[in-house]
Structure 1
Amino acid sequence: MKALIVGAGRLGTQIAQVLAAARNDVTLVDHDEDRIAELEGRLAVRLAAGDACEPGFLEHTGALTTDLLIAATGNDEDNLVISLLAKRRFDVPRVAARVNDAENTWLFDHRWGVDIPVPAATPLISLIEEATGATDTVALLRLSKAGVNVIETAITAQSRAAGRALADIVLPAGTVITTVIRDGQPTVPTPDIRLQAGDELLVVSHAATEQEIHAAFQ
């Protein structure tokens, strides 16, 4: 799935992390250039700085081919304009928008291009589930909200883990390998599975950093 998220605050960043960890094609945009610069290298998503209320910028960031747009800025007027452009001009199949002021809830409907209105106080689990139809993504979101990091790492021919069984890999404390993706197919990891070049691993940890996870395999 291709997702375009507008608003790189805590909410939009969290959604981007979760959707990217679930192997979706994610672009995160924000009008604040400093905020985008701050996120460079920290997220496995495309980042862009600009005004998403401008049709040209939305088109530049992939609105014509996106499957899901989430307007998650802190401004209801912006979220409505972005949603309307997404639906009417770019024909985005699914549009979700955050409602910051409860008094504006009545505006967030199909007339403004909104398929899924999300009140500020509402957890995003239902939003992600409805928008993507992926229960695995919902599980990842719950992990993220619980303070558990969701990290991807890839095995190459040069990786020291290539050819070794999972049981022989020493992982940081509090770390679990949840999925091994091989030839595009996710498999449940077992201790005797031997890692191969091209394998991608989805790892969750409540304590280890991304660098520590990569170091265990590379």
Structure 2
Amino acid sequence: MKALIAGAGRLGTQIAQVLAAAHNDVTLIDLDDDRIAELDGRLPVRLVAGDACEPNILEHAGAHTTDLVIATTGNDEDNLVISLLAKRQFAVPRVAARVNDAENTWLFDQQWGVDTAVPAATPLISLIEEATGATDTVALLRLSKAGVDVIETAITPQSHAVGCTLAEITLPAGSVIATIIRTGQPTVPSPEMRLRPGDELLVVSHSATEQEIHAAFQ
């Protein structure tokens, strides 16, 4: 999944770290050149200096091909403008925005391009779950501190798993499919779900190698 985060404050930076840990393609934008310079080399994400309220900056950051935009600036007006541009001008499939002032919550709706409005007091993990729609993935990412790996694999037209249900796939011991990204949208997997070419899977495992996970699907 490609994610674009506007606002490199504490919240935006933490979201970028978690999404990047799940091997997502993450871009982080901030108006403050010094903040971008400070983060350079510290995060496994693409950094863009500029005003995310400007269409040309969003375009430069890859908004035309991104799957998810999260507006996390400390200014509600900016978050609304970013959301509206993302949805209306760049047709981003999923847009989430932080609500800093509770009195402005009523503005954060689909008329402003916001799919998910998240109050500022919402815990980080809950915010990412709401934004991505991938509750299981984010919850399982918490296990990474205990030596659990998140491994990504893709289904190609040549994969032997094409057309199989998840129940028919034999995974290495200690592994579980956390989410399936289909047409850019994270989906909570179910046993009867059939795999299609183009599906991207995030598999959580505490013992299997990347090669073993790939072999289960390819």
Which of the five TM-score ranges fits, normalised by the shorter chain?
Answer: 0.5 to 0.7
For 1:20 and 1:40, how far apart are their aligned partners in 2?
15
Instruction: Give the C-alpha shift of residue 186 in structure 1.
Output: 4.2
Q: Which has the larger radius of gyration?
A: 1
Amino acid at match of 1:177: G
For 1:30 and 1:124, how far apart are their aligned partners in 2?
19
Asked if 2 retains the 8 angstrom alpha-carbon contact of 1:118 and 1:124, the reply is no
For 2:10 and 2:53, how far apart are their aligned partners in 1?
20
Residues 84 and 187 of structure 1, relative CA distance in 2, 3 Å threshold: closer
Unaligned runs of 5+ in 1: 144-149, 151-174, 200-218
Q: For 2:148, what is the secondary structure of its paired residue?
A: strand
Residues 20 and 182 of structure 1, relative CA distance in 2, 3 Å threshold: closer
How big is each residue's C-alpha offset from its partner over 1:64-106, in whole Å with a ceiling of 9 and x where there is no partner?
0111000000001100100000011001111000011111111
CA RMSD, 1 decimal: 2.4
Residues 102 and 113 of structure 1, relative CA distance in 2, 3 Å threshold: same
Which one is further off, 52-61 or 125-134? Answer: 125-134
For 1:10 and 1:70, how far apart are their aligned partners in 2?
14
Partner residue, 2:147: 177
1:1-218 alignment, distance < 5 Å: 1-134=1-134, 135-140=136-141, 176-179=146-149, 181=151, 186=203, 188-190=205-207
Using structure 2 for the length normalisation, give the TM-score: 0.68
Asked if 2 retains the 8 angstrom alpha-carbon contact of 1:178 and 1:188, the reply is yes
For 1:14 and 1:62, how far apart are their aligned partners in 2?
20
Asked if 1 retains the 8 angstrom alpha-carbon contact of 2:23 and 2:152, the reply is no
Q: For 1:69, what is the secondary structure of its paired residue?
A: strand
How big is each residue's C-alpha offset from its partner over 1:157-216, in whole Å with a ceiling of 9 and x where there is no partner?
xxxxxxxxxxxxxxxxxx6421274877746344xx7898xx9xxxxxxxxxxxxxxxxx
Asked if 2 retains the 8 angstrom alpha-carbon contact of 1:9 and 1:73, the reply is yes
Instruction: Give the C-alpha shift of residue 124 in structure 1.
Output: 3.5
Q: For 1:13, what is the secondary structure of its paired residue?
A: helix
The alignment of Structure 1 onto Structure 2 pairs a total of residues equal to 164
Q: Any runs of at least 4 consecutive aligned residues in structure 1 with deviations exceeding 3 A, and if so which?
A: 180-187, 193-196
Work out the percentage of aligned pairs sharing the same amino acid.
73
Unaligned runs of 5+ in 2: 155-201
Q: For 1:137, what is the secondary structure of its paired residue?
A: helix
Instruction: Give the C-alpha shift of residue 123 in structure 1.
Output: 1.8
Q: For 2:147, what is the secondary structure of its paired residue?
A: strand
Using structure 1 for the length normalisation, give the TM-score: 0.68
